[in-house]
């Protein structure tokens, strides 16, 4: 293998095209997860504009690109998945049958370790360092929206009937409901980000949009459009008033769900659920095979999913003092969080406490 490392702006047009081609053929080659837009060159390049330290390793065999490995490197040599903390799919994009040695790759990239939290399945050299695996629910729509809706009705008839009825009632109470699958108005994106920030604070979670680099990344992706990739803002309106919105990433065959939120004034209509159903219906016209709802236990994901993918978290590392120190710092935190998330008797009171703290912080700002 010949491995070269590049800054995002140094990647040639030919290499970007080769990367996209590998993703485009992933479905045919039995690795559809590699087609996820979080693994696309556009996501890595946009993150590179928002954060320093993003690099891309190009692995060549016989002079031709065989694999692409985007990563974020600190000055100490600690590597992380590109967009760690917001990226819902991570790993090395490669041609069929490609094999690699994880530690050889780290050395070539100048890394002492590489950390991930949404590693795509089928990456055995990295999976050896996984500390846990988690479900990532999806909505399969490759057989058409009516087929998906039929499955939903058969599995959860009351949920489906109630969700569709609430959608109709929204129209009766507040005016004609209108759905825009690919909204291009930046003001709608600003509204979504404000809703999402309020939700994070209300539930006691860390506000991702309080980080300038995340705001910049989302805005850049909103304006990114190629034949195989786009940032998609979908909005549900009632009488031209936005009631729910979602920003995600579209690849050729996968729509990666990312930031959903809605106006609390319309919560009794479950507009977020109605929005996801309309997204699924519209995505079929784009040739999308499935919507990836992302890792995380949420009631709405369980209600909408047809199956689950698996993603992993952990790290691969060389025998190096910096790697040992980073691992010693991160491992207890991850273990505690995953223990709480996996045990309902712990998660329920923890979630309640976070929401109470979020309410207190909200009142203190008034």
| pTM across the whole model | 0.89
Segment (H or E) for 227: none
In 3D, which of 83, 95, 125 has the Cα closest to residue 256? 83
Extract the tokens encoding 286.
């784009």
Residue-by-residue DSSP string for 158-220: HHHHHHHHHHHHHHHHHS-EEEESS---HHHHHHHHHHHHHHHHHTT---GGGSHHHHHHHHH
**Per-residue model confidence (pLDDT) at position 35:** 96
Please tell me the distance from the alpha carbon of residue 307 to that of residue 136, in angstroms, as a whole number.
9
Please tell me the distance from the alpha carbon of residue 303 to that of residue 289, in angstroms, as a whole number.
19
**Per-residue model confidence (pLDDT) at position 364:** 40
* Pairing mode, strands 130-140 and 290-292: antiparallel
Q: By CB neighbour count within 10 A (0-12 exposed, 13-18 middle, 19+ buried), where does 273 fall?
A: buried
Put residue 349 in one of left, alpha, beta given phi > 0 → left and psi -120 to 50 → alpha: alpha
Phi, psi (5° rounding) for residue 265?
-65, -20
Sign of CA dihedral 23, 28, 34, 37: positive
Extract the tokens encoding 208.
């991702």
SS3 32: helix
Residues whose CB is less than 8 angstroms from the CB of residue 60 and which lie 6 or more positions away in sequence, other chains included: 1, 2, 3, 4, 66
**Per-residue model confidence (pLDDT) at position 352:** 53
**Per-residue model confidence (pLDDT) at position 297:** 85
**Per-residue model confidence (pLDDT) at position 341:** 55
pLDDT in tens, the chain (366 residues): 799 999 999 999 999 999 999 999 998 888 999 999 999 999 999 999 999 999 999 999 999 999 999 999 998 899 999 999 999 999 999 999 999 999 999 999 999 999 999 999 999 999 999 999 999 999 999 999 999 999 999 999 999 999 999 999 999 999 999 999 999 999 999 999 999 999 999 998 899 999 999 999 999 999 999 999 999 999 999 999 999 999 999 999 999 999 999 999 999 999 999 999 999 999 999 999 999 999 988 999 999 999 999 999 999 988 776 766 666 666 555 555 555 555 555 445 644 554 454 444 444 443
Residues whose CB is less than 8 angstroms from the CB of residue 251 and which lie 6 or more positions away in sequence, other chains included: 23, 35, 36, 37, 40, 228, 229
Extract the tokens encoding 80.
């992380």
Please tell me the distance from the alpha carbon of residue 86 to that of residue 71, in angstroms, as a whole number.
14
**Per-residue model confidence (pLDDT) at position 349:** 61
**Per-residue model confidence (pLDDT) at position 183:** 98
- Per the CB < 8 A criterion, the answer to whether 105 and 57 are in contact is yes
How many degrees, rounded to 5, is the angle at CA 19 between CA 56 and CA 85?
A: 50
**Per-residue model confidence (pLDDT) at position 355:** 47
Please tell me the distance from the alpha carbon of residue 114 to that of residue 349, in angstroms, as a whole number.
33
How many degrees, rounded to 5, is the angle at CA 183 between CA 250 and CA 233?
A: 40
Q: What is the dihedral of CA 42, 45, 47, 48, to 10 degrees?
A: 180
Please tell me the distance from the alpha carbon of residue 132 to that of residue 311, in angstroms, as a whole number.
9
């Amino acid at each position: 293998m010949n491995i070269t490392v590049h800054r995002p702006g140094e990647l040639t047009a030919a290499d970007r095209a080769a990367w996209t081609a590998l993703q485009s053929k992933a479905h045919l080659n039995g690795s559809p997860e590699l087609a996820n837009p979080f693994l696309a060159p556009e996501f890595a390049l946009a993150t590179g504009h928002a954060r320093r330290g993003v690099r891309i390793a190009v692995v060549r065999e016989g002079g031709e690109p065989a694999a692409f490995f985007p990563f974020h490197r600190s000055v100490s040599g600690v590597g992380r998945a590109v967009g760690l903390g917001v990226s819902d799919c991570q790993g090395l994009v490669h041609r069929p049958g490609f094999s690699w040695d994880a530690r050889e790759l780290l050395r070539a990239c100048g890394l002492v370790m590489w950390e991930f939290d949404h590693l795509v399945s089928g990456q055995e050299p990295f999976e050896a360092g996984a500390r846990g695996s988690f479900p990532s629910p999806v909505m399969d729509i490759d057989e058409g929206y009516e087929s998906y809706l039929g499955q939903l009705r058969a599995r959860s008839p009351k949920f489906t009937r109630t969700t569709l009825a609430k959608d109709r009632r929204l129209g009766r109470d507040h005016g004609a409901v209108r759905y825009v699958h690919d909204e291009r108005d930046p003001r709608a994106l600003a509204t979504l980000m404000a809703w999402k920030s309020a939700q994070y604070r209300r539930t006691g979670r860390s506000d991702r949009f309080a980080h300038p680099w995340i705001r910049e990344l989302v805005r850049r992706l909103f304006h990114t459009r190629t034949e195989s990739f786009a940032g998609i803002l979908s909005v549900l309106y009632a009488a031209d008033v936005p009631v729910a919105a979602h920003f995600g990433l579209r690849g050729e065959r996968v729509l990666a769900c990312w930031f959903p939120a809605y106006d609390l004034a319309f919560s009794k209509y479950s507009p977020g659920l109605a929005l996801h159903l309309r997204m699924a219906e519209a995505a079929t016209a784009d040739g999308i095979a499935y919507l990836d709802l992302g890792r995380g236990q949420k009631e709405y994901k369980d209600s909408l999913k047809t199956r689950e993918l698996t993603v992993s978290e952990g790290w691969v590392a060389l025998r190096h003092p910096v790697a040992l120190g980073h691992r010693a710092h991160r491992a207890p935190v991850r273990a505690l969080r995953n223990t709480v998330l996996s045990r309902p008797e712990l998660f329920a009171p923890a979630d309640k406490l976070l929401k109470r703290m979020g309410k207190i912080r909200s009142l203190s700002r008034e």
